[in-house]
Amino acid sequence: MIKGIATFIAALNGNLKRSQIAAGFAWGVLFGLIPAGNFFWILFFIISFCFRHHQGSKILVMAVVKLLLLVLLPLTDALGWELLHIESLAPAYTTLYNMPFVPFTKFNNTLVAGGIAAGVVLWLPVYFLVRGLIPAYRKTLAPKIRNSRLVKSFYKVPLITKIAGAVQTVQEKAASFSA
């Protein structure tokens, strides 16, 4: 987990394209809202590897959204219930449910339906919001954090200096391999 956070911070402060970080955030929100282990979660996870995005931000945001999901659960459940009770879609849902494999996807679960709908709807707004906020973070907030007393005292802890040195070594090796 520490390595994931370190790579995420390095990506935010580094030269990684902001579109890749933003896409990682958007994928993380989608995966955080869909119940883990579900067919659709696995399908979207496999599909995500076909696109270029930052894996560390995806995993970190997914973990944060999963923690927040305890609060968001009633909202996604209500959204799924509304989607599954649209009368004009009832024949389509019945047809899908009577197909051989489709019931195993649990598409008729209110949490699954609400999570997929919320994740798909939020994907683009999250992407563009994070993409727009990254330059502002890099210009204003990152230097203030780097020069704060808290961070400077944090780096005086021996374990943290070793971790920071390891992260810097990994970044240097990665830069030498890509060059």
Q: What is the pLDDT of residues 162-177, one digit of tens each?
A: 777 776 776 676 666 6
Burial of 23 (0-12, 13-18, 19+ CB in 10 A): buried
pTM over 0.85: no
Strand, helix or coil at 26? helix
Q: Where are the domains of the chain?
A: 2-134, 148-179
40-70 b/e (C-beta count within 10 Å ≥ 16 → b): bbeebbeebeeeebbbbbbbbbbeebbeebe
The pLDDT, as a whole number, for residue 121 is 95
